[in-house]
Amino acid sequence: MELVLPARQPFSLHSVIHSHGWMQLAPFRLDEDNRGLAHTARLGTGKVVDIIITAAPDGVSVQSSESLKESEQEELAGMVDWMLGLDQDFAGFYGVASREPRLAQAAARAQGRILRSPTLFEDVVKTILTTNTLWAATIRMNNNLVEQFGDPLSTDQQRKTFPTPQQLASVEVETLRAQTRLGYRSPYIAELARRVASGELDLEALKHSDLPTPELRKRLLGLKGVGDYAAANLLMILGRYDAIPVDSWALKMVSNEWYGGAPVGRAEVEAAFEGWGEWKGLAYWLWDWTPVNR
DNA sequence: GGTAGACCTGGACGC
DNA sequence: GCGTCCAGGTCTACC
């Protein structure tokens, strides 16, 4: 079955898919025909569906592997809306970005939306998996989580969902460590899953929280395994752009762009984008780092 | 508040 | 094949 969902313009499915590396992390994958984004999702009823999202006039088309009841269609529509940020408005950013050559293409490419997982729980876990490791290891750890603990699609056992907090909360830390190679992150993920599964922590409520960004950041920093970089990355996912996820790559790029390759720290990265105010995270994210002769 | 060292895995490298 | 080194953020203890 198919759903057609409108998006606030300008919108580019290609820009969302390639906004960061999330599309390489299961259960995301590129559609086999390279037409769009595929995902294996679990609905509230427990039904597992495989969806393929492709571009449509003024929005996206969502093809589901299963026929869905009306309530399930509404849930799926809400899920895709969140994942792609269909209604997000970047007019303010485009206005200021148009005056900066390094960001001049942002509006034309409809950049700004950042691909999200269906749940904030999944995005927090994935973000923790990006810390203190190489990208290839992040992909491997995430694949292990999905492969070991996700629910399979009824028609294709190879396609699995991202495990729920309940599923991960029921796994012993040492089992998690041994089967997924999460290393020292295992107790962090286990504790997060336990807190969410027990109801002690309502992560999903943060998706639409009206808390000021500093308070939201404080909440995220309260999660074990989430430090400055991870919190800033999650704030970007939550649509708060006044923080920069400073990692080793950011230090290298800022060093090359403004300091002639000399070593720089967090302060220099922050200073480089300070003038962008509420948009500084997005300005950093979309900056064209292509070397130019100065 | 700032800093040093430990945490853990896997890839690269030398022998 | 084995041992060593290194990269990658966060946590904790200490000052």
User: What pLDDT sits at residue A35?
Assistant: 81
Gap from A277 CA to B2 C1', in Å?
Answer: 26
Q: Are A250 and A285 in contact (CB under 8 A)?
A: no
Please give the average per-residue pLDDT across A74-85, as a whole number: 98
The sheet with strand A36-42 has its strands ordered as A2-6, A59-64, A48-56, A36-42, A28-30
Nearest partner of A135 among A212, A25, A42, judged by Cα = A25
- Name the band, by pLDDT with cuts 50, 70 and 90, for residue A263: confident
Residue A32: count other Cβ atoms within 10 Å of its Cβ. 8
Please give the average per-residue pLDDT across A58-85, as a whole number: 97
Gap from A185 CA to C10 C1', in Å?
Answer: 10
User: What pLDDT sits at residue A262?
Assistant: 87
- Name the band, by pLDDT with cuts 50, 70 and 90, for residue A269: very high
Please give the average per-residue pLDDT across A174-199, as a whole number: 95
Strand partners, A2: A63
Gap from A135 CA to C5 C1', in Å?
Answer: 20
User: What pLDDT sits at residue A294?
Assistant: 54
Please give the average per-residue pLDDT across A214-229, as a whole number: 95
Q: What is the mean pLDDT of chain A?
A: 95
Residue A138: count other Cβ atoms within 10 Å of its Cβ. 19
**Residue A184: CB less than 7 A from any atom in strand B:** yes
**Residue A35: CB less than 7 A from any atom in strand B:** no
DSSP code for A203: G
**Residue A133: CB less than 7 A from any atom in strand B:** yes
- Asked if residue A136 has pLDDT above 90, the reply is yes
Positive or negative CA dihedral for A86, A92, A95, A96? negative
* Residue with CA nearest C1' of nucleotide C11: A225
Residue by residue, DSSP assigns A111-157 as -------SSHHHHHHHHHHHTTS-HHHHHHHHHHHHHHHSPEETTEE
Chain C nucleotides with an atom closer than 7 Å to a protein C-beta: 7-12
Residues with CB under 7 A from strand C: A 131-134, 137, 184, 188, 221, 223-231, 247-249
- Asked if residue A114 has pLDDT above 70, the reply is yes
Gap from A182 CA to C8 C1', in Å?
Answer: 14
Gap from A100 CA to B10 C1', in Å?
Answer: 40
What is the dihedral angle through the alpha carbons of A142, A128, A132, A102, rounded to the nearest 10 degrees?
Answer: 100
The pLDDT tens digits for A80-105 are: 999 999 999 999 999 999 999 999 99
Please give the average per-residue pLDDT across A51-62, as a whole number: 97
* Residue with CA nearest C1' of nucleotide C9: A132
User: What pLDDT sits at residue A292?
Assistant: 77
The pLDDT tens digits for A8-45 are: 999 999 999 999 999 999 999 998 877 899 999 999 99
Gap from A82 CA to B12 C1', in Å?
Answer: 41
Share of chain A above pLDDT 90, in %: 95
Distance between CA atoms of residues A77 and A205, nearest Å: 18
Gap from A88 CA to C8 C1', in Å?
Answer: 32
**Residue A143: CB less than 7 A from any atom in strand B:** no
Q: Closest nucleotide to residue A134 (Cα to C1')?
A: C8
Q: Are A193 and A223 in contact (CB under 8 A)?
A: no
